[in-house]
Amino acid sequence: MAIQRTLSIIKPDATKRDVTGKINQMLETSGLRIVAQKRIKLSQDQAEGFYSVHKERPFYNDLVNFMMSGPVIVQVLEGENAVKLNRDVMGATNPEEADKGTIRAEVGLSIEANSVHGSDSEENAINEISFFFEDEEICP
């Protein structure tokens, strides 16, 4: 399996509770390197655009508002099989169903406030990374 990159977001529930270091320690310990990172407040356009695949879902408006409710950290992770590895370290969408030791099980609060986002395919990872980062902002 080749070296991949994936987009990670630390969500507002986690920046609010000052657990960004704990989350990134879990990511780094798993073998993922943070090769780009910024702390930003999402605009309405960014939050709606980023989650546009979910716009028909009943939770879409709440999700957009949640993602704008505080700062987020957007970051690019790099490593062997990074897309799946990040999803494995994150755990299931619902923290109540996430395996013990995963970020969502240890840090997540609810199915919405589940602390982290991770790209779900290599193709989406490429698109999501370019949503937030220019090539020259990525420093492996």
Q: Which residues contribute to the site for ligand ADP (CB under 6 A)?
A: 54, 59, 63, 93, 111-112, 114, 117, 120
Sites for Mg ion among residues 95-134 (CB under 5 A)? 120
CA 35 to chain centroid:
14
Min dist. Cβ of residue 77 to ligand ADP (A): 15
The CB-of-67 to ligand ADP minimum distance in angstroms stands at 8
- CA 111, CA 133: separation in Å to the nearest integer? 27
Task: Compare residues 34 and 109 and give the one whose CB is closer to ligand ADP.
Answer: 109
Nearer to ligand ADP, 84 or 135 (CB): 84
| 18 φψ region: left (φ > 0), alpha (ψ -120 to 50), beta (else) | left
Cite the active site residues: 117
Instruction: Closer to ligand ADP by CB, 96 or 140: give it.
Output: 96
Indicate which of ligand ADP, Mg ion, none lies near residue 114 (CB less than 5 to 8 Å, by partner kind): ligand ADP
The footprint of Mg ion (CB under 5 A) covers: 120
